[in-house]
Amino acid sequence: MKKNRALIFKCGFCGHEEPKWLGRCPECGEWNSLVETAVSAAVLQRTEGDPKNRPRSLPLSSVDPQEGSRISSGLPELDRVLGGGIMKRSAVLLGGEPGIGKSTLLLQAAAAADTRGRVLYISGEESAGQLRMRADRLGLGPQSGRIEVCCTGALADITPILEAVKPVLVMADSAQTLHTDEAGPAPGTVNQMKFCSYELISWVKEHDAALFLAAHVTKDGLISGPKTLEHMVDTVLYFEQSENRGAQGDCRFLRAVKNRFGSVDEIGIFMMGEKGLSMASDPSLLFLVRREGTLPPGVATAAVLEGSRTLLVEIQVLTVPVKGSMSRVFSGSIDLPRVSRVAASLEKHLSLRLSDQDIYVNVAGGIRITEVGVELALAAALYSARTGLPLPGGTAIAGELSLTGELLPIRRLAGRIKTARGLGFNRFVGPSPASEGEGPGGLENAADIKSAVKILFAGEQKPQTPRTKAGSL
Ligand code: TYD
Ligand code: MG
């Protein structure tokens, strides 16, 4: 008789496999954790199946290009982060803290995705009735007609349902609720999650479908859980909430940290409202506080790139005399080393005393800014906060600072100026364009931080106090 099961010894905690029993897992060091485990029939078939069905090589030119085609999720911001839509035969891990909106996003995509076939929503967390209530609340109505729901986390129940429904899109909510006896006796372990996720991923790859796998992530628990699934999937998305409420409401960001089929630079911006997640009508404006006339001291508007779009964001800085023995920087939105470096640059090149100050930095709407082009606006906000001199309104700023105080050319300067113009900014202060002809009208360019500050604060009085001894503007 053909053997369709094999035995291995698997660690119930980390999932490490050994051909022989050992008293202690060599991977995680846990004692007595190796248990005799059957390798599933599906896995065996894949590895030992009929030689006729074994994978063979084939000329690349003979592969049907449709195999690599994408379908729209129906949610433009999700498509953007995925790199242009859902790739067939792909597996996407959607991580995020509980309550961030993973289930909402998956249900909305299940209803809106541009698929011809059926969508299977597997929920180990909610009952069918709860899913129905959520769908009604989201106003999915008739769109949800092709969604099949299956409320279990037991792999043994899920597999026959997959075979019966033959979905083209599978939503598994969540990885933590998946379980099977085949993956060892301890339920809820990383091993259970990995084993079951692998089975679902294999199923969609073999059946020309796509999988979204939701996974809870806690602030400190990134490593133990879903992180271990990252290498198994094609794309890893994390859903995050901004620290503050955006100017237009409750704003959430979707970021890719791994994407086999697209860039990881794009972010998706969603607003959570009464009827679930919606797209922000104009994300470029989301992080701006509309102000008339001169800005309050410590505020500057930066034109930064987030993936392929330009966002205008308000940088807010507060400086107060140090309370401890050393000055400290508090910033959740811009990296601390960047803030410290820009502050050091101002101290050195403009003789602006900051080392006796605690510096607080915030970006309106709570979006994290990692793009270098934010540095000049950050410098302007710091200068304004420390001197009390306000920046004029209607001015957008972009530029990278070198340690020597020069302004370096930045990517897509012309695009930033165009977006800022379109949003009603009449001045743009930045570096010289990298190439001739890149700078459309309206750019006031500066060579270094000193001349940029001069241009920006031209109409204001000279600061009185916070100078270091040497140098003047
Ligand atoms: P949910 O999708 O259940 O989060 P997750 O699956 O990541 O745990 O989102 C739940 C939160 O979203 C909850 O706090 C309620 C809120 N919410 C709305 O504000 N509006 C809505 O239409 C829905 C469905 C949820
Ligand atoms: Mg959920």
- In this structure, are residues 25 and 14 in contact, taking their beta carbons and an 8 Å threshold? yes
State pTM to two decimals.
Answer: 0.78
How many structural domains does the chain have?
Answer: 3
Q: Are residues 316 and 270 located together in one domain of the fold?
A: no
Residue of the nearest CA to atom 14 in ligand 1? 99
What CA–CA distance (Å, rounded) separates 451 from 401? 12
Is residue 138 within 6 Å of ligand 1 at its C-beta? yes
Q: Are residues 422 and 294 located together in one domain of the fold?
A: yes
Is residue 134 within 6 Å of ligand 1 at its C-beta? yes
Would you say residue 344 lies in a domain? yes
Q: How far from chain centre, in Å, is Cα 437?
A: 34
Bridge partners (DSSP) of residue 24 are 31
Q: Are residues 182 and 89 located together in one domain of the fold?
A: yes
How far is ligand 1, taken at its centre, from the CA of residue 357, in Å? Answer: 41
Is residue 137 within 6 Å of ligand 1 at its C-beta? yes
Closest CA to 239 of 269, 212, 264, 266: 269
- In this structure, are residues 378 and 372 in contact, taking their beta carbons and an 8 Å threshold? no
Residue range(s) defining the domain that contains residue 215? 69-281
Would you say residue 186 lies in a domain? yes
Strand 235-241 relative to strand 250-259: parallel, antiparallel, unpaired? antiparallel
Q: Are residues 297 and 430 located together in one domain of the fold?
A: yes
Would you say residue 338 lies in a domain? yes
User: For ligand 1, what atom is nearest to the CA of residue 272?
Assistant: 19
Is residue 139 within 6 Å of ligand 1 at its C-beta? no
What CA–CA distance (Å, rounded) separates 249 from 127? 30
Q: Are residues 382 and 275 located together in one domain of the fold?
A: no
Residue of the nearest CA to atom 11 in ligand 1? 99
Show pLDDT as tens, one digit a residue, over the chain (473 residues). 444 456 788 887 777 888 888 888 888 888 888 877 766 555 555 555 566 667 788 888 887 777 668 899 999 999 999 999 999 999 999 999 888 999 999 999 999 998 889 999 999 999 999 999 999 999 887 767 889 999 999 999 999 999 999 999 999 998 999 999 887 776 677 888 889 999 999 999 999 999 999 998 876 655 457 788 888 999 999 998 866 555 556 788 899 989 998 888 888 989 888 889 988 767 777 788 767 778 899 999 999 998 888 899 999 999 999 988 888 999 988 999 999 999 999 999 999 999 999 999 999 877 889 999 999 999 999 999 999 999 998 999 999 999 999 999 999 998 899 889 888 899 999 998 876 555 556 789 899 999 999 999 986 555 544 555 444 44
How far is ligand 2, taken at its centre, from the CA of residue 249, in Å? Answer: 21
Q: Are residues 151 and 257 located together in one domain of the fold?
A: yes
Q: State the ligand closest to the CA atom of 278.
A: 1
How far is ligand 2, taken at its centre, from the CA of residue 43, in Å? Answer: 29
